[in-house]
A and B are shown apart, each in its own frame.
Chain A
Amino acid sequence: MAERDDGHDLVEAERYELFAGPSYRFEVHRRDFFKVLGAGLVVAFALPSASGQESGGARRGDALPGDVSAWLHVGEDGRVSVFTGKAEVGQNIRTSLAQVVAEELKVPIASITMVMADTAVTPFDMGTFGSRTTPIMAAQLRKVAAAAREMLVDLAAQRWGVDRGTLVARAGAVAHSPSGRTAAYGELSKGQKLAKAIGDDVATVPAERWTVAGQSVPKVTGRDVVTGRHKYTSDLARPGMVYGRVLRAPSVGAALVSVDTAGAAALPGVTFVRDGDFVGVSAPTSHAAAAALDAVHAEWKPTPQPSGAELFEYLRKNPTDPQGADPRSRVVTGTVEAGLAAAATKLEATYTVAYIAHVPLEPRAAVAEWQDGALTVWTGTQRPFGVRTELAEAFRIPEEKVRVIVPDTGSGYGGKHTGEAAIEAARLAKAAGRPVKVVWTREEEFTWAYFRPAGVIDVRSGAGADGKLTAWEFHNYNSGASGIRTPYDVPNQKIEFHATRYPLRQGSYRGLAATANHFARESHMDEMAHALGQDPLDFRLKNLTDARLRAVLQAAAEKFGWGKTKATPERGFGLAGGVEKGGYVATCAEVTIARPSGEVRVTRAVTAFECGAIVNPDHLKNQVEGSVVMGLGGALFEAVRFDAGEVANPKLSLYRVPRFSDAPVLETVLLDRKDLPSAGAGETPIIGLAPAVAGALFAATGARRRSLPLAPEGVRA
């Protein structure tokens, strides 16, 4: 997935997320399970693509089917271990996945151990992205847990010679109420070596009857977090471990000409590595490693790079798709020209989106250790199996020789899909002959990680005198195709995403391009509403039949008191909605402008969100609130400034992120649709804020702002 060009990875967000490489197939042997986990009972979820495996049937022979995505073990002591390749990066899936297992298996959450994101013991997983954990992994674990519960009931029925219909599983035991007998799961699984593969056709508890799922269970690792006891990757230490640093180029695309290491080599305990363009050091402390790096003198040859001032022209002028546009995301319905000809009101506008950085508070980090030619790396990544592949390729060893373990990580937001720190630590460890830890500095994170893609979006639209849209044309250059389709009813549409060359390394980000596309689309809807002299909410509803999106728009508007207060030059109100990754969101924002300074603050944000049946209301609310706060940075002031391959603001003192004083009053309306499957929620709530803020700024100032960030220096108008 990472092509090399000019020395930096060409990772395009959506393409990358949708086509994350071939699935790695492997055989899991029954005896391996029991050797590692001890006797008991194992249930695995086999993906439908598994070779002819009939779901629900016991597997012949010794092996479980290939494409297993999750499994669960009930030990002889009654402990439940759940294995999933997903990683915890702050979205609280360690808790929510334990909840769904507890629900189906009828055990206390405390008896469940979630074993996550360890390539040696958890099943293959493409990665923790795309809001897929809740709709896919949680649904699979539910079924696995339900099947395990039924196996335990069967064991009790056999043991007591009673009809299984008279048995009830609850609180980690099976009970036979006619006789008053009870057997704990541990008693039932004792001495057993039962393995079963299941598929989709396992009945689970409907959301209306949930008792553990659907509740605000606290973060299961909360106590370790508040005491500082939780070990993030950057906190780990191994015996004999030293600290590594890597020499960075002064600008993107610069080539290493020469290195003088005499100064570094003279320092005690320092190991120096040069391997091609890779130059790094390791030393007994991080301070000594930094000093050793400072003592390395390198000469670099820069290559010409696009200027920051011409970013948007550059994107427009450098298409890379031979077909002109991405066929997978293209929408063509009717004829835009005909729709425009029929329109009473026509609009045309261009919107732009700057590069922004994820700024995960824990920077990229890895600890690498070699033993007998095998490599173990602890690292904070959202793609442990992808990073395993990167390591195997980098060191030309089989993937079986590489183990990647992801401790619960200090956030990612889509920014930790790659394994740079892992590869660097492993290279340095190989040279040092001992474990090496690499923790990127904030400046490295700001410069050499990847960014949310910048983009240019051109929109043309037309509407009839009745306020109904007749034409919609939408072209996104570079920022991506997520959320590019309009949810509004328009008979004539042309929607295209155009891949381009781009000046800075770019990749996935929370919500991907859905933020950019919603910003452009919903801003344009706002503009059209004003052009027609209609209320922005009424105009949207007039062109919208999607009941779920209508519901969140109406819920947000009602809670906000939409239309009840008139905008002033000091205060404006805006609204936006959208659907993405199975979640429906509407945001109403109040913006306050200080006079005469022109400083802009988002003072109130109401978000209505609906993602099917709610698994954990408080954690969902937390994700919605966090999305809004993170989103207001990109909406108002965040931007990576750069020129000629150099980032100009690679520090927290130069790159502004939202702080306490930026956080608005947050109100969240959660619509719980117990009749619908649960969708993920870590991303979509972010997409409505920027266009809502843009609308609010227009309402206050009468000037339309079409570029994100909207007001990095405040507003003068």
Chain B
Amino acid sequence: MPVIELTVNGTRRRLDADPQRSLLSVLREDLDLTGSKYGCGEGQCGACTVLLEGQPTRSCVVKVGALAGKSVTTIEGLEAGGQLHPLQQAFLDAGAMQCGYCTAGMIVAGAALLRRNVDPEEAEIRKALEGNVCRCGTYPRIVAAVRAAAALGTRTTRG
């Protein structure tokens, strides 16, 4: 199998993987990065959201063979030196979860939004996260968490 080189959470990785495999399955099965979740397999729920070259991306529909030389950040890469990303902390403070299965994808998508817009309005948050499903229905809390992280003036250079 061809070797694919990419950067994951700041570390260069050489992968022996079928290029047809999804990025999500490689992250989860080969790299033990299970924070990104499978939810639908068609890019409709956002549970698998990662940052690809800084852009929020549905890793379940991206083939790993197309990613040579690219940089990927997962939920595991947001925490730095035991310090939570401000949005991770904001989710805790807002109690913005129930079962938590969507949380990683929400935080990654929300962090991407905060990188391009340090102070998004509620409507902008809803629009940016519309592709992420929380079946437990904690949407208003998630919006509140993103607002709270923004209010902290939390432009982050990480990710």
Contacts and interface: CB of A to CB of B under 8 A. Distances in A.
Contact of B133 (A228, A235, A363, A657): A657
A626 interface: yes
Contact of B140 (A89, A222, A230, A666): A666
Interface residues of B, number: 59
B20 A287 contact: yes
Contacts of B33: 228
Contacts of A653: 40, 42, 44
Nearest to B30: A285
Contacts, number: 179
Given A652-B44, A657-B135, A362 B99 contact: yes
Contacts of A232: 37, 101
Nearest to A686: B137
A361 B39 contact: yes
Contacts of A216: 95
Q: Which of B40, B79, B138 counts the most A-chain CB atoms under 10 A from its CB?
A: B40
Interface stretch (A195-203, A270-278, A423-431, A617-625): A617-625
Q: Which of B98, B99, B136 counts the most A-chain CB atoms under 10 A from its CB?
A: B99
A232 B33 CA distance: 13
Interface string A249-283: 00000000000000000000000000000000000
Contacts of B132: 659-660
A21 B25 CA distance: 39
A286 B97 contact: no
Nearest to A442: B40
Interface residues on A, range: 35 or more
B155 interface: no
A146 interface: no
Main secondary structure of the interface of B (DSSP, over half): loop
Nearest to B131: A659
B121 interface: no
B22 interface: yes
A661 interface: yes
A222 B103 CA distance: 10
Contact of A287 (B22, B32, B107, B131): B22
B36 to A, nearest CB: 7
B21 interface: yes
A628 B139 CA distance: 11
A227 B84 contact: yes
Nearest to A618: B95
Contact of B137 (A225, A410, A625, A661): A625
B29 A441 contact: no
A658 interface: yes
B21 A285 contact: yes
B76 interface: yes
Contacts of B38: 234, 363, 439
Interface string B64-87: 000000000011101100001000
Given A227-B88, A228-B75, A287 B18 contact: yes
Interface string A616-660: 001100110111111000000000000000000001110001111
A622 B98 contact: yes
Contacts of B142: 660
A530 interface: no
Given A90-B136, A287-B22, A225 B103 contact: yes
B126 A661 contact: yes
A409 interface: yes
Given A228-B35, A231-B34, A362-B37, A626 B137 contact: yes
A110 interface: no
A237 interface: yes
Contacts of B114: none
Nearest to A623: B98
B87 to A, nearest CB: 8
A629 B143 CA distance: 14
Interface in A61-107: 89-92
A227 B136 contact: no
A436 B51 CA distance: 30
A670 to B, nearest CB: 15
B130 A659 contact: yes
Interface of B: 18, 20-22, 25, 28-29, 32-42, 44-45, 47, 74-76, 78-79, 84, 88-89, 91-92, 95, 97-104, 107, 125-127, 129-143
20 contacts: A90-B100, A225-B97, A225-B103, A226-B100, A226-B104, A235-B37, A286-B29, A361-B99, A411-B136, A622-B138, A622-B141, A623-B98, A630-B137, A652-B44, A659-B133, A660-B130, A660-B132, A661-B130, A663-B139, A663-B140
Given A237-B32, A660-B126, 4 more contacts: A226-B89, A228-B74, A362-B101, A622-B98
